[in-house]
């Protein structure tokens, strides 16, 4: 397994991080355990979860994923870098969500209980909360870090200008500084190359992209004219979200071109898609998910693949339109 320094910190993480978003809903616990076992056997030592997971399961299931991960980690916690997230809706009250001081201090304790650990290595804001002052959020996260409940803090799904402002406020307040960003990034969504990735590089932030296979679309197995099978594109609110993001004529046309290109190179599209994400020097660790343990074979193979310059250039060219935002459909 390859390792990369986690931004400007002294921590080193595996180049692949295991995502757990579907554990406990789309995937039962037994399968989730087999996936974690397979990833660990391959050398993956970085695990990412969130308090609202499994995504799409509703309030009745939130927290279940952390419980599954916590049970699996029993007796081997020190061998893994563990990341989780907060901000999402965890209960019926208006204070059971967001980045307020009250919610974050409650949320970290609840996550630690579900994970059956006394600390997480990385505690992240799952999304930006525009209703809470940044200073309040930063001061709450500083309390969490200073108390030892989290080693580092990061963000996910932040716009570049908001992340830049948060970094500036943390410096001014002398609070714990965000060390990482977790954005969506793949061949069909490249907008973060314009501002977020340059910001991360300049500020020394670790970048851990999620969705490198566009919800599985970049495996090349789906067809536009065929309804998506039960899974990522169909289940709950998450299924609707993924269909809205990717299930369009433009994306399928691009995938056909990508499939031909990778087949000509004697490679699978899923391996190439992950290798393309990892080929960006700003990327620290790519988050990979799976619904079956055997699916990790093609994606983990990306670690051993160095894209030929001509192939990389062609991939960039075929997907250039996704770098600049949504085109008319």
C-alpha span between 35 and 291 (Å, rounded): 8
The span from the CA of 229 to the CA of 248, in Å, is: 16
H or E, element range at 153: strand 150-156
Element (H, E) at 109: helix 101-115
Cα(179)–Cα(167) distance, integer angstroms: 9
Query: Does residue 152 carry a catalytic annotation?
Result: no
Contacts of 188 (CB under 8 A, 6+ apart): 214, 217, 218, 246, 251, 254, 255, 319, 322
Backbone angles phi, psi at 182, to 5 degrees: -120, 95
Which residue shows structure tokens 């001081």? 101
User: CB–CB of 273/187 below 8 Å?
Assistant: yes
State both tokens at 34.
Answer: 């087999």
53, 210, 242, 322: the active-site residue? 53
Q: Which residues are part of the catalytic machinery?
A: 53
């Amino acid at each position: 397994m390859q390792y990369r320094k986690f931004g400007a910190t002294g921590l080193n993480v595996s180049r692949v991080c295991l995502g757990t978003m579907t554990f406990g809903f789309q995937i039962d616990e037994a399968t989730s355990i087999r996936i974690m076992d397979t990833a660990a056997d391959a050398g993956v030592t970085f695990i990412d979860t969130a308090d609202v997971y499994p995504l799409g399961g509703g309030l009745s299931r939130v927290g279940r994923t952390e419980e599954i991960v916590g049970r699996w980690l029993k007796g081997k916690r020190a061998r893994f870098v563990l990341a989780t997230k907060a901000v999402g809706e965890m209960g019926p009250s208006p204070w059971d969500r967001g980045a307020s001081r009250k919610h974050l201090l409650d949320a970290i304790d609840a996550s630690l209980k579900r994970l059956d650990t006394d600390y997480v290595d990385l505690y992240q804001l799952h999304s930006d909360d525009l209703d809470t002052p940044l200073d309040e959020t930063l001061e709450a996260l500083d309390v969490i870090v200073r108390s030892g409940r989290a080693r580092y803090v990061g963000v996910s799904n932040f716009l570049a200008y908001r992340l830049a402002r948060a970094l500036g406020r943390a410096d001014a307040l002398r609070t714990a500084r965000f060390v990482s960003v977790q954005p969506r990034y793949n061949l069909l969504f490249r907008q973060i190359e314009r501002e977020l990735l340059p910001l991360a590089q300049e500020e020394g932030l670790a970048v851990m992209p999620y969705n490198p296979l566009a919800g599985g679309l970049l495996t090349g197995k789906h067809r536009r004219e065929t309804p998506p099978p039960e899974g990522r594109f169909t289940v709950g609110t998450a299924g609707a979200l993924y269909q809205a993001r990717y299930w369009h004529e433009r994306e399928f046309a691009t995938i056909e071109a990508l499939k031909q290109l990778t087949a000509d190179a004697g490679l699978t599209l899923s391996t190439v898609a992950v290798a393309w994400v990892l080929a960006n020097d700003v990327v620290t660790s790519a988050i990979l998910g799976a619904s079956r343990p055997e699916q990790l074979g093609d994606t983990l193979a990306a670690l051993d693949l160095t894209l030929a310059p001509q192939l990389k250039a062609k991939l960039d060219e075929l997907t250039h339109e996704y770098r600049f935002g949504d085109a008319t459909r």
